[in-house]
Structure formats: C-alpha cells, structure tokens
Chain A
Amino acid sequence: MQYAVLCYNEETVVEAWSKDENDRVMRDLAAVEKKYAEKGRLGPVARLMPTTAATTVRKSAGDSFVVDGPFAETKEQFLGFFIVEADTLEEAIAFAQELAVANPGAGAYEIRPLRLFKPGGGPN
C-alpha cells in the first residue's frame, strides 16, 4: 500500500527558523528519506513554497475564478508531503514518527493512503 504523509505546521513558526535550524531539519529529514529510499520504499518528496506564493482556482457553477493565497485559511498550513510504500498502517505510522523525530516541535503528519498514483513522466 502506498501512503501520502502530509506535513502540516504553522508557517509563521517555520519562517522564524534561522538558516541553521532550517538546514539542520532538512539534513535530518534527508537521513530518514535516505533510509527508506535505500529500501526502495520512498516515492516523491516535495516541500512547498509559503502559502503567500499560492494561487487558488475556485470552481463555481459557471466559470471558475482565481483567488490569491491558499485554499483555506487555517492555523497550520500544508507545507509538503512524502509518498511512502508500507505494508501496514503501522509501518506508515513508524515512518511519520521518524520524520517527527527529525523535525520536532509543533505541527502534524497526516497519513493518507493513496487511492490512485500516477508517477508521471514529467520533471524530476
């Protein structure tokens, strides 16, 4: 089974990280990724730009319309995701817990099983 592990955190807190803190978190996360990649269990990983860079296309009955900013104003924002292959939910939870150790503090990892996955042949 493939799972998406979705990262949520308060963006203003992440933006207050110093460059050193940022680099350390990225390095520690990369170590977890490497472990799973070597087992052939890791799919695409993405870190998103701040929500200020987001644009939302809202669907409506007639035309869709374009709004600046993220889809929802929430206290914690969707900041990135991992795709991981796991045999059981427990394995997926263990992966998210390893991420939480690498990137402690507030925020959450939401584990969502994939229903459909098209890896695409596009940019890497």
Chain B
Amino acid sequence: MSELAWIDLALTAARPQAMGALLRYFRDLDLAEEAFQEACLRALKNWPDKGPPRDPAAWLILVGRNSGIDRVRKRAREQPLPPEEMLSDLGDAEDDLAERLDGAHYRDDILRLLFVCCHPDLPATQQIALALRIVSGLSVRQIARAFLVSEAAMEQRITRAKARVAAAGIPFEAPDAAARAERLSVVAQMIYLVFNEGYSAGTAEAADAPFATEAIRLARLLLKLFPAEPEIMGLAALLLIQHSRLAARFDADGQIVLLDDQDRALWDRDLIAEALVLIDKAMRHRAPGPFQVQAAIAALHARAAAPAETDWAGIERLYRTLERLQPSPVVTLNRAVAVWKLEGAEAALALVEPLGERLSGYFHFHGLRGGLLKELGRREAAREAFDRAVALARTPAEAAHIRQHLDGLQRERVASRS
C-alpha cells in the first residue's frame, strides 16, 4: 500500500468523528466541511514527512478548528458580523488534547452528524445523498454516478438538502436518553435507506454502487458507538446477510437471480458468519425489534444449504412477529409465501386475497397471487394476475420471470387441447 493510499484510508476512517466535532464547533455544515477539507489538505502535506499522528481524528479536529476559525475571522472582516455569534465552544480552543477518542462528546457528535442527514423534510434520496457526502465523504461525482444522474444535478440536490438542514436548525444540545434513542432509531432507518437504494433497484450496476458498502460501514460505526443496542445489531446483521448474496444475485448478463435459483456457494460466508454472531448477541437482550426479526428471517435463508432445507416454519413464525411489531400488508404477503410452503396454495391464497385492495399496485402481490392460482388450477385467473404483474414490473428481470409463468400456462393450455 502506498503512503498516499494509507493516508487516504486514515482520512476516510477519521472523517465521521472529525466532521462531527467540527460541526459541533461551527454549527454550520458548510463551514465544518470546508474546515475538514483544509485539515485533509494539510494532512496530505504534513503526514508523509512527519509520519502519521498518533490520533489522526484529533489532529484533523484541531487543525480543522483552527483553519475554520481563521475563515470565520476573515469573513467577519469582509462582512460586519461578530465572529462570536458564529462560533461556539471555543473556550477550550487552547486545549489541543480535548479531542481524544474517549472524549465524552464524540459519540453524540457522530450521531448528530448522521441525524442532520435524516431531517424529515428531506425526501429519501436527499437523505441518502447527504449522508454519502457528509458522513462517508464520497465525492459529488461518485454519488452522482451511483444515482445515475449528472454531477450538476447531484450538486444541486446536495446544496438544496444542506440549505434545508440549515434552515431547520441543527440540534446542538446534547440529547437526553430518550432523545438519543429517538435519534438512533431515525439514523438506523436512514442507513437502511442507503443500503436499499443499491439493493432494491435490482440491477447489477446499482448493487455494485457504493451504497451497500457505505451502509455497512455506517452500521458498524453506529454499533461501535452503541455496542449494546440490539436493533443496531439487527440492522448490521440484516445488511451483512443481504450483501453476502451479492455475487449470486446477478447472472452473467446482469439479470437478477431469485433467491431459490442462486448458487449458494457464491454467498460470502464471512459476512454471514459475522451476521449470525450479531443476531446471537441481539437475542440475549430479549428486546425484539423489526431489524432483528428481519435479520433472523434472512439468517434462516442463509443457514439453508439448499432451498429445500429452508426452515419455513421458523420463517412463518418470524413474519408473524414482524406483523405484530410493524403491521403492513407487504409483511403479510411475505408470510403468505411461507404459508404456501407449509400448508399449501389454498391457505396462502386465503391470506393473500384480503390484501388486494391495499396492494393492487404492487408487483409482488400479483406475481404471488398468480403463482398460487396457477397451482390451484385456476388458469384464467392466474393469467390475469400475471398480466397485471408484468405491467407493474420495475425491471426487465422481474417481467421476464413472470413471462416464464405465462409461457408455462400457455404450454399447459396447448397440451390440454391436444
């Protein structure tokens, strides 16, 4: 590894902590970012000669803070603004040892940094873009490429998101226990959104984009800050298991491969093993939550050496728990798949039919319903359901999968006539 590559890694690793502290000092995202950039430039200049500092994050915070203060003073000379109003916590500016890793602030600093990206006024895509820019430190170009939009458009999107965050005011008081738990839960949801942006698009390009790896990095970071939170263990485990299938999820043409058809030898066993440990740890807390239950479901799939060995009874039970914790027709639909495997198509269809009103625009509803009707020999109704599914498919792979069923129906029809 070259020296520059190592410095780059150190800067990436130190970023959340340094940015979090600089945001606390300057109470302004842009100013914090400029200060961090300046500190990184000086690190690139200084570290190769003098060697890396003992604590890179503390070094970056100190240098960033000083350069940010300079900047504010210059601005104050240009505009008649008293600098005191733009700064805070400068009483300890002399104390260069104030920012050790065990500093009492750093946990809340990083949580705040993540939390400002989750403002409820921001649409999901802006939350994701902001987190990748501010916390992960990806360049606007990298983020634009991941979202398949132009760099200018992404620049504008991030600028707008930052303006909204600034207008809403950043919560600087240290949170009490209840507020901290609330922030943690909002941040966990946002990290899941980051992951899902790459995962649910169902294309090899999106899956290959940095969404998944960054989301896992953020989840691990959060778990390091809050090591005894079972839902954060669940979140990390869920992301690890879903990501473990990356190499098996797409065929040579980039088409998505469904779970049952995946080559399980391609699953990343290291990631699965780590996830299983986290689930074990979470279970000890006996405080189930939606992420833990989803991770446990993913784990039952991961533990099956072949699709036929899947513990459908366990999965059905877990979906029942999830329905209780987080009722949603999509969860019931997923439980219906397990019921189909356990009790047959008739029982599953009875569970699926009442969901029709709420899921009429949902691809998977019509796909599953078609499959159940087909098995029950109701071919005409199955064909109609599959037609609706094809119309609602979001990717060519989804449509192709349903067309296979339609072709099957067609063949059966021809065969029954002859």
Identify the A interface with B (CB < 8 A). Answer: 10-13, 15-17, 21, 25, 49-53, 55, 66-69, 73, 75, 104-106
Contact = CB atoms under 8 A, between A and B. Distances in A.
Interface string B1-14: 10001100110111
Contacts, number: 61
B397 to A, nearest CB: 24
Contacts of A67: 228
Contact of B10 (A15, A25, A66, A106): A106
Interface of A is mostly: mixed
Interface in B1-30: 1, 5-6, 9-10, 12-14
B221 interface: yes
B224 interface: yes
A66 B1 contact: no
B274 A53 contact: yes
Contact of A15 (B217, B227, B228): B217
Interface in B41-86: 52, 54-55
Contacts of B273: 49
Nearest to B280: A55
Interface of B: 1, 5-6, 9-10, 12-14, 52, 54-55, 101-102, 217, 220-221, 223-224, 227-228, 233, 236, 273-274, 277-278, 281, 284
Contacts of A52: 220, 223-224, 227, 233, 236, 278
A27 B278 CA distance: 27
B258 to A, nearest CB: 25
Contacts of A106: 6, 10, 52
A63 B391 CA distance: 62
21 contacts: A13-B9, A13-B13, A15-B217, A16-B217, A21-B5, A49-B273, A49-B274, A50-B220, A52-B220, A52-B233, A53-B274, A53-B277, A53-B281, A55-B281, A68-B228, A68-B281, A69-B224, A73-B102, A105-B6, A106-B6, A106-B10
A67 B236 CA distance: 18
Contacts of A55: 281
- Nearest first, the 8 A-B pairs at minimum CB distance are A69-B227, A12-B13, A105-B6, A68-B228, A13-B13, A52-B223, A68-B227, A53-B277
B227 A66 contact: no
A103 to B, nearest CB: 8
Interface of B is mostly: helix
Contacts of A73: 101-102
A55 B274 CA distance: 13
Contacts of B102: 73
A16 B13 contact: yes
Nearest to B230: A68
Contacts of A11: 224
A50 B227 contact: no
Contacts of B14: 12
Contacts of A66: 284
Contact of A104 (B6, B274, B277): B6
A21 B1 contact: yes
Given A10-B13, A16-B12, A105 B1 contact: yes
Contacts of A50: 220, 274
A12 B273 CA distance: 19
A15 B6 contact: no
Contacts of A10: 10, 13
Given A15-B220, A52-B220, A75-B55, A105 B228 contact: no
A34 B227 CA distance: 37
B101 A75 contact: yes
A27 to B, nearest CB: 13
Nearest to B220: A52
A105 B274 contact: no
Contacts of A51: 224
Contacts of B52: 106
A45 to B, nearest CB: 16
A15 B277 CA distance: 18
A55 B285 CA distance: 13
Nearest to A28: B1
Nearest to B102: A73
B162 to A, nearest CB: 24
A51 B220 CA distance: 10
Nearest to A19: B213
Contacts of B284: 66
Nearest to A21: B1
A26 B54 CA distance: 25
Given A67-B228, A105-B9, A12 B101 contact: no
Contacts of B6: 104-106
Contacts of B217: 15-16
A52 B277 CA distance: 10
Contacts of A17: 9
Contacts of A49: 273-274, 277
Nearest to A66: B284
A18 B102 CA distance: 27
